[in-house]
Amino acid sequence: MGAPESKFLNEVKLPWSAEEIAGWSPKRRDFLRAVTALGGLAAVGGLSGCGGGSGEAIAQTAQPLLDQYRNALLADAAFWEEVQKRFILNPSKLFMNIGTAGSMPKVTVDRFNSENTTYAVESQNGYSNFLTQRTAIARGAPAGQTPAAGNGFGVDPDELVISYNTSDGMNHAILGIAWERGDVVITTNREHPGGDVPLAVARDRYGLIVRRVTLPVGNNQTAAGLAKLFADEIDAARAAGQRVRALMWSSPDYLTGTMLPIRRIVDVAIQKSAGFTPIITICDGAHLPGMMAYDYAALGVDFMAGAGHKWQCAAGSTGILIIRNKVRASANPLPLPAYFPVVTAGLGGTANTAAIADGRDPNAQKLLVGTVPWASRAGSTSATEVFNIGNVIQSCGSKHVPLINSVAESCAMWDSIGRKKIETYILTLSRYAKEKIATEWGVDALYAPKDDQELMSALTSFDPFYGLPTSPNGTTAAAAIASSTLSGQVVSRMASEDNIIVRNTTVPTPGGNRYPLRMSTHLWHDVADVDRALASARRIARAVMGLPPA
């Protein structure tokens, strides 16, 4: 790159040789410029010491982790640069709000557009249960083939539905359960309306009792501790003479990005069911498809509703709904709960066709309903499906075939890359972001934990005002994060001034609501993107508070 870059190499000690740098892509060279402009890797690590002890003390503990994460990410940078080329994102903007919406890769956009045209030209319909697509998504390979380890969703196609979004899936799950008056559902204080609203409908319609676990905020929490909160709440409900029927929670919670431990919470439900009514588990996993390489059968959760249009990067208005439809003793030995589809046009069973055809038979409708095996599902401990509940829910009139195929196309791309590889990459980016926030702002700026890796997701919520001095107009950092207006200004100015798209959330705390920024790290991001976003947040937070530039 000529003399200027050589000057950087002479003045700043870097771990890469001139030959290595010469072979870098333009994006990685931009990262080099950011490093050298800030004075080397120590500055990229953000060792300012603000908000949490001296810079020297923080550097001794946090810098090795930053270096470890950064080096791991850079080691495979060329591969991910090729992956990034599969998307058609606006290059003038940095999109870090995947928790709200992803972006279809070009292969999915092309298929979606082509099929929409074909369906219009040929006046085609969408009457199907889409078993072929569901099989490929569930198993991560064509029907009849064994999927590669870590690909697919680890379930059978009778347990998977291509839904319209997470909220649609949560409505299916919650409103299809055979509730009884007085049933207790234990949930949390950080749920999305997609789960809270159908739960409220069931409460008002059936007389449910809703109890909420108050989740902690920040780094000082553990997976074991979160699971214990649910166990303790079950005990408290029973001590009050109440019948606990279900646990409902989000993994991760969308406000902070904390990955509530699904397997541990399912284990709590299993253990606490001994001698009592079996406890149903319902997970709002809006961010899981495309982010985490989970084997959902092994997790043992009864219902998981996730998005297709977020991290999985399918078309908008798509989702993944997983319903436990057989008992795998090693995952969850509890019998299947009674469940009745609330949106369907598919029987899932056989009816007396002669009686149905004969409209004069007064028993025709009774025969039709009586032959459907929905009721036989309740209490089943069979290791094989009672009937294909996925077919029943998926079959609901004519559906948008290109929309559903967009999910299959994006899932196939994820499987071709390797879901575990994607999870590892984006979680490493998230760890890098969290560690950098801890060094620049102080660990207490984090709303999601960084030290218990079981609680890690690719969402990072943090306080951009943390540790800043009181402004000339008297605004304190504590007052700034408690102001949705000031937090919102950081979001809007990051977009308008630096073309960086993030969002803020509303997190309930013992001191009232707080409004941290939430940043997503996805497969089209790299360390330079994280550095750029955090530098923008820090600069603009100071400006919003009326402080001079650092």
Going by C-alpha positions, the residue among 222, 303, 216, 233 that lies closest to residue 264 is 222
Cα–Cα dist 457/286, whole Å: 12
What pLDDT sits at residue 374?
73
What pLDDT sits at residue 283?
98
Cα–Cα dist 144/344, whole Å: 27
Residue 404 and residue 306 share a domain: yes
What pLDDT sits at residue 67?
76
- 62 occurs within a structural domain: yes
What pLDDT sits at residue 10?
40
Domain housing 479: 45-98+418-545
Q: How far is CA 486 from CA 415, 502, 514, in A?
A: 41, 14, 11
The strands making up 459-462's β-sheet, listed across from edge to edge, are 459-462, 517-520, 503-504
Give the torsion sign (CA, 52, 58, 61, 64): positive
- 126 occurs within a structural domain: no
Boundary-marking domain end, from 416, 434, 467 = 416
CA angle (363, 369, 370) in 5-degree steps: 80
Indicate which CATH number applies to the domain containing 292.
3.40.640.10
Residue 494 and residue 401 share a domain: no
Residue 93 and residue 171 share a domain: no
Residue 257 near residue 278, CB atoms below 8 Å: no
3-class DSSP assignment, residue 498? helix
What pLDDT sits at residue 313?
97
What pLDDT sits at residue 28?
52
Number of folded domains that form the chain: 2
- 359 occurs within a structural domain: no
- Beta carbons within 8 Å of 359's beta carbon, 6+ residues apart: none
Residue 468 and residue 327 share a domain: no
What pLDDT sits at residue 43?
34
Boundary-marking domain end, from 393, 416, 439 = 416
Burial class, 116, CB count within 10 angstroms (exposed 0-12 / middle 13-18 / buried 19+): middle
Cα–Cα dist 488/305, whole Å: 29
- 144 occurs within a structural domain: no
Task: Enumerate residue ranges in the chain where pLDDT < 70.
Answer: 1-63, 141-150, 348-373
Residue 182 near residue 242, CB atoms below 8 Å: yes
Cα–Cα dist 465/487, whole Å: 9
Alpha helices in 257-339 (DSSP H): 262-272, 296-299
Residue 393 and residue 437 share a domain: no
- 404 occurs within a structural domain: yes
- 276 occurs within a structural domain: yes
Cα–Cα dist 278/246, whole Å: 8
What pLDDT sits at residue 70?
79
Indicate which CATH number applies to the domain containing 64.
3.90.1150.10
Cα–Cα dist 412/512, whole Å: 44
Residue 67 and residue 195 share a domain: no
Residue 534 and residue 430 share a domain: yes
Cα–Cα dist 191/204, whole Å: 18
What pLDDT sits at residue 294?
93
Residue 541 and residue 466 share a domain: yes
Give the torsion sign (CA, 511, 516, 522, 527): negative
- 365 occurs within a structural domain: no
Residue 323 and residue 269 share a domain: yes
Residue 49 near residue 57, CB atoms below 8 Å: yes
Residue 465 and residue 395 share a domain: no
What pLDDT sits at residue 348?
67
- 194 occurs within a structural domain: yes
Q: Read off φ and ψ for residue 118, nearest 5 degrees.
A: -60, -45
What pLDDT sits at residue 29?
53
Which pTM does this prediction carry?
0.85
Residue 412 and residue 431 share a domain: no
What pLDDT sits at residue 352?
46
DSSP, residue by residue, 365-431: HHHHHHT-THHHHTT---SS-SS-HHHHHH-SSB--HHHHHHHHHHHHHHHHH-HHHHHHHHHHHHH
Cα–Cα dist 147/157, whole Å: 13
Residue 197 near residue 311, CB atoms below 8 Å: no
What pLDDT sits at residue 465?
97
Residue 393 and residue 429 share a domain: no
